[in-house]
Amino acid sequence: MGLGKVYLVGAGPGDPKLITVRGLEAIRRSDAIVYDRLAGPQLLGEARPDAEKVYVGKRPDRHTMKQEDINQLLVDLALQGKTVCRLKGGDPTVFGRVGEEAELLRRYGIAYEIIPGITSAIAVPAYAGIPVTHRDMASSFSVITGHESPDKLDKSIYWDKVTNATGTLLFLMGVAKIGYISEQLIKHGRPPETPVALVRWGTRAEQATLTGTLADIERKVKETGFEPPAVIVVGEVVRQRETLRWIENKPLFGWRVLVTRARSQASELSGKIDELGGEPYEFPVIETRLPQDPATIGRIEAALRDAESYDWVVLTSVNGVEYFFKWLYACSVDVRRFHRASFAAVGPKTAEALKERGILPDVLPEKFQAEDLLASLKDKLRPGQKALLPRGDLARKLLPDELRAMGLTAVELDVYETAMAAAKDEILPELLKEGGIHVVTFTSSSTVTNFMAALRQSGIEDPPALLRGAEIACIGPVTARTAEEHGLKVTIMAETATLDGLVAAMVERRRELLKQAAYDPKAGGV
């Protein structure tokens, strides 16, 4: 077995989209991911399903693994012939101890690459509306460790030189020493009224900013219980925050929103959440697939061969459209053979999927449930007509039952199956326990059922109790009823059963909570 290779990757400050393209490529190609708590947890979802994941991060109350042991772990994994990604928060060369890891790898003759990341020293202040330089305020900046004890700080920092060497001073990991840092800066020439900002968990949903001056910042930290990790910014540039703060003005800022849709569909909802300042966290609990049962396949083939006999083709979801056309292709059936049929669609997205395939639906109800489609079809249906319903295996029986009651022949085709996704996420249960998920979204009844099952499989005995502190958002009344049947309290429901409707409902709920002063900006959630 040959030697493996190690990528020493900077994950950026927390927002998973701030990782570099090269860093993302390293995650995706690695056999093992060695990560710490400052690396965005969603980045682990980019790893291969079979990749080994090893947590080596440090917390204030305990050290999970000593640095020497981390160094050796990287060597051991590479000696097994594995490609390893050492994922670090921020940039690995800025207080990331990458030199120690690379040195040991070189000693063993193991190939490695150092992949820079966006350092929190610059990114975190930027997300708080604080540029580290400004033409009129600061033309230079210094990045300084604040993590050491006071006696070590005095040995590693030349306060008399550092204090006024640059316009902006950036201290990383120094919240616990803020009083001593302020004292030294004042002692060596910085005015007591110099602005100071502490930005905690910058670029994440928990981002919180505390401002003050060198004279009063320690008192404010104690009074508010402000905790690490945070970047400390000292200098006149802090004044820019009042006019340049941007992400905090977005309507979903402060909310980490769990997206439970199928992986193939999650990106659309995640993108809408991200654009509005929320932090999407994808945990797909369903997946769709072609049926494998020979009898089901036989029924589909027979129904499609009889294309000329249908008066109606009724489609109730985007998946229904996609899989219907997949079967037409698989069975070599030309869609033009449905020339007798009128097409009906439930919802604008379903209609859009049809239009992309050159078909304009003849019936599109104003609302987006089976009941509304039936109301729209009522004056157009005639006894003796034949309707084809390509849909999923979990679709409600209301539509075919009502069509049959009206004297039509309703041919139900399970053109796709909905199954529980094999989602594995070691971090999500902890996030839920800590209140780190602020909203859970459900876009179908199956996402509710599978999500609750996934929580139980992960060892959570009482999922409804765990979710009590989160907002429960449902795309429509059918999904909401399913959530309530599982013991959840639905607090957000879309007025129109679309993703845009769901997002709009979340924005309205967020606005409502802010008005009620029920929102805690320090915690980032309700």
Domain end (from 118, 147, 173): 118
Residues 126, 244 within the same domain:
yes
Last residue of a domain, one of 354, 386, 420: 420
Residue 154 sits in the same domain as residue 240: yes
| Predicted local distance difference test score (pLDDT) of residue 396 | 82
CA torsion sign for 296, 302, 306, 307 is positive
276, 330: one domain: no
Integer Cα distance of 181 and 218 in angstroms:
10
405-444 exposure pattern, b = at least 16 Cβ within 10 A, e = fewer: ebebbbbbbbbbbbebbebebebbeebbeeebbbbbbbbb
Residue 473: strand pairing partners: 441, 492
Residue 204 contacts residue 123 (beta carbons within 8 Å)? no
Contact 46, 53 (CB under 8 A): no
Give a yes or no: residue 273 inside a domain. yes
pLDDT at 60: 47
Is 526 inside a domain boundary? Answer: no
Residues 6+ apart with CB under 8 A from 445: 394, 478, 479, 482
Domain match, 426 and 416 both: no
Name the amino acid, one letter, at 480. Answer: A
Mutual orientation of helices 370-377 and 398-405 as an angle, nearest 10°? 20
In a domain, 276, yes or no: yes
Is 264:289 a contact under the CB 8 Å cutoff? no
Q: 86 and 158, same structural domain?
A: no
What residue type is 427 in one-letter code? I
Note whether 138 and 88 are same-domain residues: no
pLDDT at 524: 39
- What residues pair up with 333 in beta bridges, in sequence order? none
Does 216 lie in the same domain as 103?
A: no
Give me the pLDDT at residue 516, please.
Answer: 84
Tell whether 43 is covered by a domain.
yes
Measure Cα distances from 449 to 183, 216, 373, 442 in Å: 56, 51, 25, 10
* The pTM of the whole model exceeds 0.85: no
357, 385, 420 — which closes off a domain?
A: 420
CATH number at residue 175: 3.30.950.10
What is the C-alpha separation between 437 and 470, in angstroms, rounded?
A: 7
Q: Please give the Cα distance from 421 to 434 (Å, whole number).
A: 24
* Residue 389 covered by a domain: yes
Q: Say how many domains are in the chain.
A: 4
pLDDT tens-digit profile, the chain (526 residues):
689 999 999 999 999 999 999 999 999 999 999 998 766 678 988 899 899 999 887 654 455 688 899 999 999 999 999 999 999 989 999 988 899 999 999 999 999 999 999 999 999 999 999 999 999 999 999 999 886 666 667 777 899 999 999 999 999 988 999 999 999 999 999 999 999 999 999 999 999 999 999 999 999 999 999 999 899 999 999 999 999 999 999 999 999 999 998 877 888 999 999 999 999 999 999 888 999 899 999 999 999 999 999 999 999 889 999 999 999 999 999 999 999 999 999 888 899 999 999 999 998 876 656 677 777 788 888 999 999 999 998 888 888 998 999 999 999 999 999 888 866 777 888 889 999 999 999 999 999 999 999 999 888 999 999 999 999 999 999 999 999 999 999 999 999 888 999 999 999 999 999 888 644 544 433 3
Note whether 408 and 323 are same-domain residues. Answer: yes
Q: What is the 3-state secondary structure (H, E, C) of 267-293?
A: HHHHHHHHHCCCEEEECCCEEEECCCC
Instruction: Give the whole-angstrom CA distance, residue 144 versus residue 132.
Output: 13
Asked if 46 and 96 sit in the same domain, the reply is: yes
The parent domain of residue 332 ranges over 289-420
Same domain, 139 and 101: no
Do 208 and 316 share a structural domain?
A: no
Cα angle, residue 379 at apex, residues 374 and 380 outer, rounded to 5°:
85
CATH number for 509: 3.40.50.10090
| Domain contains 443 | yes
- The predicted pLDDT at position 525 comes to 38
Q: Domain for residue 520, yes or no?
A: no
Residue 523 counted as domain residue:
no
Active site amino acids: 36, 58, 173
Would you say 342 and 311 are in contact if contact means Cβ atoms under 8 Å apart?
A: yes
Whether residues 181 and 240 fall in one domain: yes
